[in-house]
Structure 1
Amino acid sequence: MASLRKRSNYYSIVFATRVDGKLIQRAYALGTKHKKIAEQKRIQYEKLYEADEINPFDDDWNLLEYEKQQELKGTSVVSPILNELQKKFLREKTNVTAPTKRHYKYLLKMFMEHVGYTMPVTRIDADDIRAFCLRDDLANASKKNYLKHLKTFFNWLVEEEYLESNPCDKIALPRVRDNLVDKIIEEDDLDLIFKKFRQYQLKHKKAGSIQSADQMQLWFKPLITLAFYTGMRRKEIIQLRWEHINLNEGYLRVTDTKNGSERTIPIFETLYWRLIAWKKLMGNPQKGLVFPSPKSTPDREIAMTGNNVSKRFKFYATEEAKLKDTVNFHGLRHSCATYLLRIGFNVIEVKNMLGHKSLEVTNRYVHLVAKDLMRTANRNGKMNYLNEA
């Protein structure tokens, strides 16, 4: 028979037998902190011992060497482990873009850190996935994203016949209120943010705490204006190049996109003049990053850090301009969507400009401009009955 022993958070398997009435025990380290993995190995090794396929009481027998031999033979003491199968999944996942594949790799790495790299996939259940995807520290969008991608991975395991069913199917995301409206700002809010930004810079320059052009953060107004009027993602903005901006014809192209599809975005007048001024300040470059890091040199081009951009915007928007604490950089993308709908772009045009994968995503913004639609209808005399009632 075999049992488990835990010391210093690690599990060992203990084999026991009696010889001439004397109890003999042999313990072997399993090299895991995870109880499920240890229990799976205990069951399998006990079966092997009872079938006389291994002899853990032989002085020449070594558990680690035995496992290495099994791996070389292409067999395993336990069911296929998570780490090996996620590698195979990523190799065979050829129908997605490179960024999406990187996201799968990143997410599956986090999941393996949660349940154990050598966790047998047959031992993973809905509780494991629920504990990973529905943590309190995750935003609702992240919970949905994690569960969606894990579901795809486990569906693949079912298709490859490693599992009989997908444990993700037993998990339902909690219903939450769509709080997009709390993240959206208007043009007046944007003007207020820029006003507070300018006041902050002048105040600290006068006090002597700002002494260089880099500290003036001159990129702030053109970059934030670009985000508000184009709806581009943060990564798309910091990787935008002057070669992709056509100021003469009034459009820019986004080439490094999340879904792999290039898109064209018109440059509105407010943004046009911001870009003209920024380009002049930069020395009228014809190529290179639009917003290079101050650490860039003539020989080495470095993009700005996305987190720094987000933190600076959050600071001026919520701490200086005193807007809602829910306002953040990604909210500029939501703000652009509602702005476009308000000025007359239809849902399909907004979908194409923002690079949404489906109309379902874009339709989230339609109800946010319902009051504007009501005002337009009333202005055109189509709802006079409300005034007559």
Structure 2
Amino acid sequence: MERRLGISIYPEHSVIEEDKKYIELAAKYGFSRIFMCMLSVSHSKEEIKEHFSNIISYAKTFNFEVVLDIAPNIFDSLGISYDNLSFFHELGADGIRLDLGFDGNKEALLSFNEYHLKIELNMSNDVAYLDNIITYKPNTPFIYGCHNFYPQKGTGLPYDFFLKCSRRFKKYGIRTAAFVSAKNANIGPWNINDGLCTLEGHRNLPIEVQAKHLYATGLIDDVIIGNAYASEKELKALSNINKYQVELSVETLENTSDIEKTILFKEQHFRRGDISSQVARSTEVRKKYAKENIPEHDNKIEFKPGDIVIGNDEFGKYKGELQIILEDCYDERKNLVGRIAKEELILLDFIEPWSKFKLVSKRGK
């Protein structure tokens, strides 16, 4: 399934001209999805229709998919019904997110709405909610899943719980989404905004590391920035990440040679299938660079987890082999050539047997 990037828009708390600038900027960097909040609308039905259709139609000129976040009170205040979704169709939306659920049969019926609106479900509960809906035979391609975000620090999902919730959706092949948080963006649905991420462990991480981690789980298809407005630097950083394999940022040492940099950054790596606990081995590269000179340097030290080493001229047939250190060790036949960025060490858990991975220069980002 294609993986995408998204932004969030809060029309009730922002200026439409600024929203449009943000949409255009996000489109420049390949974003293609918008989470648009309708939870706190307080104007008349006609005013809301005019305002939201304006911003949605603008987003459509850049080919964004727009999903509206709604709650039951919206239907009451606007005098509309779940049995007739024409209002959202007239706004130009592609789907609606149900913050609260029904009995399963209702959601299944909604997925067959005549306007082909996607019905997005709340993923952040480890219950058989989706299983129940599936028993009522929904129009599965029109069912999406999306986690919540958590504006209050200390309230985001713990990682293990996030995995359980997400697996319930992925086992049915449902498109999934989760939120990351921009550092200084301050617009959200409420007056508390300590960041709008799904995972609590992401709250203080760089935005691109949050996204890398979500994609690396293999459980999330769409990564959405929860708060507005992310900076252009953050949008660009997200646009540059590899959505389909783990890509680790590496800072090289001063003595790292050109051939070692070529091995680091110009090759497709994969971890050897018969794994060891001490190192993750990329062994194919040694064959390609067997005749190159790799003199000793930075090799008489204890290597630490996250260090990257390459076999030197004293390592015989293993010369040129690249290894990521997983446990403290010492071996003078290996040169220390780089270190994985500290904030990205959490990604090492995803370098599994036969896992493909790439290395990129942190200085070159």
Q: Under a length normalisation based on structure 1, what TM-score does the superposition of the two structures give?
A: 0.25
Specify the structure having the higher radius of gyration (Cα): 1
The structure whose residues are more often strand, as a share, is: 2
